[in-house]
Amino acid sequence: EAKMYYESDADLNLLNGKTIAILGYGSQGHAHALNLRDSGVRVIVAQREGGANYKKAVEDGWKPVSVAEAVKQADWVHILLPDEVQKKVWDEDVLPNIKKNAILSFSHGFNIRYKRISPNADLDVIMIAPKGPGHLVRSQYEEGKGVPCLIAVEQNASGKAKELALAYAKGIGGTRGGVLETTFTEETETDLFGEQAVLCGGLVELINSGFETLVAAGYQPEIAYFECCHEVKLIVDLIFQGGIGRMNYSISDTAEYGEYVTGKRIITDETRKEMKAVLADIQSGKFADNWIKENETGRPNFKKSREEIANRLIENVGARLRSKMSWAKK
């Protein structure tokens, strides 16, 4: 059984006297910076000028500086830039300016796992990865709760790397929700697999395939949308609260019987075989290489896919229906 760490396992005093530079004020960056500040930690924010995130940082009371400037002043550098730009910023702005014996941290292991960034041996290299979107990391903290976090230690130059990771996790509210230790390799590979096979790739195609099957058979697209897309959230909420048992208790016995006879006709041995192949591409670095190449060539496939999905019927029908639902965000 994996050990969980909570409030009393972490010591915020380890952050006393340290200046933490948060690089990037996006989804995760703003949440880490604000939560740490509210926890009494000294923070500097690096955010380039020009965009909405810069404006937000100023509104939130920061004096944003460049990455190079923030790194020069910091005892601890936490990189919350998009994974695909981290190597360039590391090479140009972080590596030349980072203090000796500093702490370097991430919220996702991609650049360490795939050796895009190879930090010097004098640095502690750790991960504090909230298992939730940045806006929830902030709102939960404000409500006195916290999004659970993963921590990992890649380099332990100080001999205190794990305790430091726990302290940071406490500073952003993570120990209120529970902290689990992992490795950069495990976090990176499972994160990529989860989002590709299940959460994003698998789910989007499952929803759309069900929707298109009904529409092609002549059913009204609005009905198909409710059945195959809208209700996903209601079902997932039940699973989130009490597992698959809770969902099965709540749905009709007819739905439950249908689940038992049909689930394995949809997710077949062939699908499982393909899941293994997807995992193999993640483990070998093939997926990472493709994604890096995609970025170096101006993202042609990425843009094409985004456009193809935006033009799907389900997106048009959904937008129309959601505009009448009071609870759906515009």
> Which residues contact Mg ion by CB under 5 A?
191, 195
- As beta bridge partners, residue 46 has 23, 65
Q: Which residue is nearest to Mg ion (CB)?
A: 191
Which of ligand NDP, Mg ion, none does 80 bind, CB closer than 5 to 8 A by kind?
Answer: ligand NDP
User: Was 113 annotated as part of a binding site?
Assistant: no
Q: Angle 4-8-10 (CA atoms, 0-180°, nearest 5)?
A: 80
Which CB sits closer to ligand NDP, 67 or 161? 67
Helix (H) or strand (E) holding 53: helix 52-59
Contact 48, 71 (CB under 8 A): no
Quick check: 160 binds ligand NDP (CB under 6 A)? no
Distance CA 182, CA 36 (A): 22
User: Was 54 annotated as part of a binding site?
Assistant: no
User: Was 231 annotated as part of a binding site?
Assistant: yes
Q: Give the residue, chosen from 35, 53, 175, 188, that forms a contact with ligand NDP under the rule CB under 6 A.
A: 53
Which CB sits closer to ligand NDP, 226 or 291? 291
User: Was 146 annotated as part of a binding site?
Assistant: no
Quick check: 287 binds ligand NDP (CB under 6 A)? no
- As beta bridge partners, residue 44 has 21
Which among 30, 32, 78, 108 is annotated as catalytic?
108
Q: CB 52 → ligand NDP: shortest distance, Å? A: 6
Please confirm, yes or no, whether 108 is among the known catalytic residues: yes
User: Was 47 annotated as part of a binding site?
Assistant: no
Residue 165: count other Cβ atoms within 10 Å of its Cβ: 28
Site string for ligand NDP, 121-140 (x = CB under 6 A): --------xx--xx------
Quick check: 109 binds ligand NDP (CB under 6 A)? no
Which CB sits closer to ligand NDP, 89 or 179? 89
Write the burial class of residue 14 (CB in 10 Å: 0-12 exposed, 13-18 middle, 19+ buried).
middle
Distance CA 168, CA 146 (A): 13
Which CB sits closer to ligand NDP, 89 or 229? 89
Nearest to 175 by CA among 142, 149, 153, 152: 149
Under DSSP, is residue 117 helix (H, G, I), strand (E, B) or coil? coil
Footprint (CB under 6 A) of ligand NDP, residues 79-108: 80-83, 85, 89, 107-108
Q: CB 326 → ligand NDP: shortest distance, Å? A: 26
Contact 80, 43 (CB under 8 A): no
Structure tokens at 96: 């030349």
Which of ligand NDP, Mg ion, none does 175 bind, CB closer than 5 to 8 A by kind?
Answer: none
Q: CB 196 → ligand NDP: shortest distance, Å? A: 14
Contact 41, 22 (CB under 8 A): no
Under DSSP, is residue 185 helix (H, G, I), strand (E, B) or coil? helix
Distance CA 196, CA 204 (A): 10
Q: Which residues are catalytic?
A: 108
Residues that bind ligand NDP in the complex, under the rule CB under 6 A: 24-29, 47-48, 51, 53, 80-83, 85, 89, 107-108, 129-130, 133-134
